[in-house]
Amino acid sequence: MNRMTELQPAAVHLSGLVKRFGNGAPAVDDVNLQIAPGELVTLLGPSGCGKTTTLRMIAGLEDPTEGTITIGADEVTHLPAEKRDVTMVFQSYALFPHMNVRANVGYGLKVARRPRAEVTARVDEALALVGLQPYADRPVDALSGGQQQRVALARALVMKPRVVLFDEPLSNLDAKLRHHVRAEIRALQQRLGLTAVYVTHDQEEALAISDRVVVMNSGRIEQQGSPRDLYARPSSHFVADFIGSANILPGQYDGRVIQLGTARIPHVQDMAQGPVGVMVRPEAVHLATSTTTGQGLPAHVVSVSFLGPVNQVVFETAVGVVTTNIDDDAVSGLHPNAAVMLGFAARGLHLLPSPKN
Ligand code: ATP
C-alpha cells in the first residue's frame, strides 16, 4: 500500500493576521486568507512585502501579534512549530551535510521515536516519490543542488504533514534546473493532493506552479486569484506591473470604446468613464494592416531583439513606450526609426482605475 495515501491535507485559515516587529509599520497587516485542502497557494510580492513572515507564522516560527491561524479544525496560532503537523522546505535546503540522504530524510521520524522498520519503509517511499532511491546512501554534500532540494522535499513529505510550506525553494538553483524542479514539485503536489503554501518573489514561478496566487504589497494582500485571472484582470497598477509584462498607457474610456492616442478600441468593462490606465499585454499589440490603419496608433521602432520564439520590439508612441512581441515573419521591415501603425486586440487589454502618476 502507498503510505502517502494516509496524508490528510488540511485547510488553512488566516484571520486578521498581524505581525509587528517594533514600532514601525507592521510587517504583516491584517491578512485574511482561506486555503482549501489540496490547494497550492503562492504568496508573491517584492522583497519586504511580508510573505516570508506570513509563511513563518503558519509554520510556528514567528508568533503573530494579532489574529488567528487555523489548520484543519485546530486553532494553532500560538502552538509550537513541532505540534502543528506542518513541514517546511527552505531555500537553503537546511540539510545535515555530514549525514547521508537516508539519515536526513528519516531524521524527523527518528526524533519522533518511530519504530525502525516504519522509518525504513517511510523513507524508502519518500525517496521513491522524489526519484532518489539510488542515492539513499550517499552523503548529501556529494549531491547537486537540485538533488539536495529533492532530499529536502522527501524529508518534508516523510512526515505526512497536513500542510507543506515552501520558502523560495528554487532560489539557489540555476534557471534550467529551477524550471525542472518546479515542475516536479507541482506534479507531486497535485498527485498527492498536498495543501501547500509557497513563497516566491518570481512572478513567472508563481504563475507556473499555483492554483491561486496571493499578491502582497506592504504587508497586505493586494489581490488574489487564479494565475489566469491575475494576468488578465489585475485590479491595480501594482499587480499589472508585477505579473507578466505590461505596458500601462494613459487613455480615455467612454463605457464602450477606449481612446488610446488616435486609436479607438472597442472594450466593455465595469469601469467609470474618463481617464484610465490602459494595460496592454504584449500579445494585444499587432502591426495594423492598411484596412485597420484608421483605428491604429502611429509608432516608431526603437529596437528589435531576437528572443528565439519571438522578437521583442519596442515602439515609441504619442502615449508612451510600447513593448511587444512580434513573430519572425512580420519583423523583417522593422528597423530602428521605421514608422508603423499599431493595432490592438481585445485579448490582453484591461483597464486600470487611473493612470499611474
Ligand atoms: P524577502 O523576499 O526579502 O524575504 P518578504 O516579502 O519575505 O521579503 P519579510 O521577510 O516577511 O518580507 O519581511 C517583511 C518586513 O518585516 C521587512 O520590512 C523586514 O525587514 C521585516 N522583518 C522581517 N523579519 C524581521 C525580524 N526578525 N525583525 C525585524 N524586522 C523583521
What value does the mean pLDDT of the chain take? 91
- pLDDT bracket for residue 95 (50, 70, 90): confident
- Whether pLDDT at 303 is above 90: yes
Strand partners, 224: 214
> Quick one: which of 182, 218, 183, 187 has its CA closest to 200?
182
Q: Do 276 and 141 fall into the same domain?
A: no
Does the Cβ of 50 fall within 6 Å of ligand 1?
yes
Which one has a higher pLDDT value, 75 or 346? 75
| Separation of CA 49 and ligand 1 centre (Å) | 7
Rounded-to-integer distance, Cα 69 and Cα 32, Å: 10
Q: Do 250 and 214 fall into the same domain?
A: no
Does the Cβ of 51 fall within 6 Å of ligand 1?
yes
Domain that holds residue 301: 245-353
* Residue 91 covered by a domain: yes
Domain count for the chain: 2
> Quick one: which of 236, 267, 229, 233 has its CA closest to 356?
236
Per-residue pLDDT reduced to its tens digit, 156-179: 989 889 999 999 989 888 888 889
Quick one: pLDDT at residue 294?
52
Q: Do 279 and 314 fall into the same domain?
A: yes
Rounded-to-integer distance, Cα 189 and Cα 196, Å: 8
C-alpha cell recorded at residue 84: 502543528
Which one has a higher pLDDT value, 220 or 150? 220
Q: pTM for the full model?
A: 0.90
Task: Kindly give the residue spans of alpha helices, DSSP state H, lying in the chain.
Answer: 51-59, 101-111, 116-129, 145-157, 175-192, 203-209, 227-232, 237-242
Does the Cβ of 25 fall within 6 Å of ligand 1?
no
- pLDDT bracket for residue 355 (50, 70, 90): low
Which of the listed residues 14, 21, 31 should we mutate to test ligand 1's pocket, taking the one with most ligand atoms within 8 A of CB?
21
Average pLDDT over residues 214-243: 96
- Residue whose CA is closest, atom 26 of ligand 1? 21
C-alpha cell recorded at residue 175: 534557471
Q: Do 42 and 164 fall into the same domain?
A: yes
Does the Cβ of 21 fall within 6 Å of ligand 1?
yes
* Residue 276 covered by a domain: yes
Per-residue pLDDT reduced to its tens digit, 311-322: 999 999 999 999
| Separation of CA 282 and ligand 1 centre (Å) | 33
| Separation of CA 187 and ligand 1 centre (Å) | 30
> Quick one: which of 232, 196, 234 has its CA closest to 215?
234
Which of the listed residues 44, 52, 88, 217 should we mutate to test ligand 1's pocket, taking the one with most ligand atoms within 8 A of CB?
52
Average pLDDT over residues 288-309: 81
Average pLDDT over residues 225-239: 96
Rounded-to-integer distance, Cα 347 and Cα 281, Å: 8
- Residue whose CA is closest, atom 2 of ligand 1? 47
Among residues 232, 258, 274, which one ends one of the domains?
232
- Residue whose CA is closest, atom 24 of ligand 1? 53
- Whether pLDDT at 289 is above 90: no
* Residue 239 covered by a domain: no
3-state secondary structure of 248: strand
- Positive or negative, the Cα torsion across 135, 112, 115, 194? negative
Please state the φ and ψ torsions of residue 68, each to the nearest 5 degrees.
-135, 155
| Separation of CA 137 and ligand 1 centre (Å) | 37
* Residue 194 covered by a domain: yes
Q: Do 221 and 254 fall into the same domain?
A: no
* Residue 154 covered by a domain: yes
* Residue 211 covered by a domain: yes
Q: What is the number of the ligand 1 atom nearest to the C-alpha of 55?
A: 11
Per-residue pLDDT reduced to its tens digit, 1-60: 444 557 789 999 999 999 999 888 999 999 999 999 999 999 999 999 999 999 999 999
Does the Cβ of 91 fall within 6 Å of ligand 1?
no
Does the Cβ of 215 fall within 6 Å of ligand 1?
no
- Positive or negative, the Cα torsion across 160, 163, 167, 170? positive
Q: What is the number of the ligand 1 atom nearest to the C-alpha of 46?
A: 6
- Positive or negative, the Cα torsion across 298, 299, 300, 305? negative
Q: Do 124 and 199 fall into the same domain?
A: yes
- pLDDT bracket for residue 288 (50, 70, 90): confident
Pairing status of strand 163-167 against strand 257-260: unpaired
**The three-state (H, E, C) secondary structure of 151-191, written as one string:** HHHHHHHCCCCCEEEEECCCCCCCHHHHHHHHHHHHHHHHH
- Positive or negative, the Cα torsion across 108, 111, 115, 117? positive
Q: Do 59 and 89 fall into the same domain?
A: yes
Please state the φ and ψ torsions of residue 140, each to the nearest 5 degrees.
-65, -30
Pairing status of strand 285-287 against strand 311-317: unpaired
Quick one: pLDDT at residue 4?
56
Q: What is the number of the ligand 1 atom nearest to the C-alpha of 219?
A: 14
The enclosing domain of 320 has a CATH number of: 2.40.50.100
Does the Cβ of 201 fall within 6 Å of ligand 1?
yes
- Counting residues of the chain whose pLDDT is more than 70, the rounded percentage is 96
Per-residue pLDDT reduced to its tens digit, 250-268: 999 999 999 999 999 999 9
Question: How many residues are present in the chain?
Answer: 357
